[in-house]
Structure 1
Amino acid sequence: MEDLTILLKHYTHAEFKNLSDYELAYIIEKNIPFKVTDIFNLNNGYYYCLATAKLYKNDNEILLTKLENKLLYFLIHNSTKIVSKEELENNVWRNRNKSIYAMRNLIKKIRDKTYYGIIKNISGVGYKIGTKNTEYGFYQ
């Protein structure tokens, strides 16, 4: 992001206004390593870049362990549904039996690094990534 800011600073306001849409698109494409569609908004200033598999808060990377990242990535890729504990175990731990306490502990660590509502517990069913549905104005 800083490179784009530096690149754009080379233009005066008048020059910037005179750039064609094609030129602007080219500058942005060459200087941003991912597309807007690769960004998953997690609210409260947090977002996850699917292209780089990294979590950010207000443009600052939040460091995650390999397992934390796998769990968050899996929940985001399944954001339209509730993910069962078995699905998490099969996909995050690759069928290595882990106790429910290990899963809860991993979720707690992610919440500690972000905020509590980032992962919703659906009692007796599983987990869901906590995203705000702006169309209806509530959290799913």
Structure 2
Amino acid sequence: MSATISPDVLPLLKRFRFRREKNVAALILKIDVQNLTIEHDTTLDGATLEDISDELPDSAPRYVLLSYVLELNDGRVTYPLVLMFYSPEAARPDWKMIYSASIAAIADAAGTRGKMLELRDAEDLTDEWVRGELHGSH
């Protein structure tokens, strides 16, 4: 059982994917489990990872499309766009399954196939954690 992307979300994904700002931003999506549709939850622009972490619920999964500022070891700066699957331990198992089954659709629509991070605890969302995860994929 997987969810479908709400038609309202597709233009948000496209705009977020092609944004020109060079700062940290997040597009947070949730699933309406009654209708099995993926919907917009909130957008944070010019945010810190702590701001993003504060927006994540303690007991419900979310998808976070993260635009991040990453300084590479050679001094170059990149702005990777990654999909983060937030699945807290306290979330209901059936919700986790619906979110897991629907992640490929979000990754395809956002153009982030192969760039997915999995987060279990919102407190772990730190620069050190994100850099460590991203350096593993760069």
TM-score (ref. length: structure 2): 0.29
TM-score under structure 1 length normalisation: 0.28
Task: Tell me which protein shows more strand as a share of its residues.
Answer: 2
